[in-house]
Amino acid sequence: MDDYLARIGITERPSTPDIATLRRIQRAHLGTVPFENLSIHLGEPVGLGDDELLDKIVNRRRGGFCYEVNGALALLLRDLGYTVTLHSARTWNGTVFGFPFDHMVLRVELEHPWLVDVGFGKFAHHPLRLDTAGPQADPGGVYTVTEDGGELIVTGPSEYEYKIDPRPYLLRDFGPTCWYQQTSPQSHFTKGPTCSRVTEDGGRITLSGHRLIRTTGDTKAQRTLTDEEALLAYRTEFGIELTRLPEARTPA
């Protein structure tokens, strides 16, 4: 897994699986491995096998959506000695929580249980404790985790984020929903290509179609790129080498 560590900018293998190292890994991952759905709009299948995940993220230097980036990160963390379980989460759509396996998150057991999520776009930069209901300050905002009928509700700076199923699952359990997210016209991932990561200053840069958006604090700047500029932005801002632009492939 040394190549994976190098991929996220960590040159020496951590010696101790502790919370300080976990925080460092999560922040490094968010800044180097984009949250993206480009495979859907490039006509590439999304596979959840261990080798497929590592090849895409480490060797091909791509990113992915939650099942991919959180799935790959779980492999790295286990290799480093962490105890990690995969959990289903139902995302908040502004009115209700969605369906099971709509999202996947990681639970890491240390002195306290921690939520790790590098596959939700704009979210916490560091792990969140799962055993406290108090506010947790993070560079991404203030978050809370509260119990609700055996499940855990994660609330962000302005609204609910998602509700976590406490039962652990295997990555293959997310396969049917991963397929749905790639193929259904109801999935927001099929609406158009997006690619996003946390920037060095704690902001965010996103390429949504041809719109390049930079956010720092309360400041947002955006502009529309040409095809050539978009290909250049994928390479220079996200480290992704493409020979053609992804095209919106909304299923019929």
Q: What angle do CA 123, 65, 231 make, to 5 degrees?
A: 100
Asked if 63 contacts 34 with a C-beta cutoff of 8 angstroms, the reply is: yes
Asked if 119 contacts 70 with a C-beta cutoff of 8 angstroms, the reply is: yes
- In the set 29, 41, 66, 126, the catalytic residue is 66
Whether the CA torsion 233, 211, 205, 216 is positive or negative: it is positive
- In the set 102, 117, 178, 195, the catalytic residue is 117
Q: Where are the beta strands (DSSP E) in 112-232?
A: 113-116, 128-129, 136-138, 141-148, 151-155, 160-169, 194-198, 204-208, 211-216, 219-224
103 counts as catalytic: yes
Query: At which residue do the structure tokens 């902001």 appear?
Result: 203
State the Cα–Cα distance between residues 148 and 33, nearest whole angstrom.
32
In the chain, alpha helices (H): 2-7, 19-32, 38-42, 50-54, 66-79, 175-183, 227-238
87 counts as catalytic: no
Contacts of 13 (CB under 8 A, 6+ apart): 1, 2, 5, 80
117 counts as catalytic: yes
- In the set 103, 126, 178, 195, the catalytic residue is 103
Residues serving a catalytic function are: 66, 103, 117
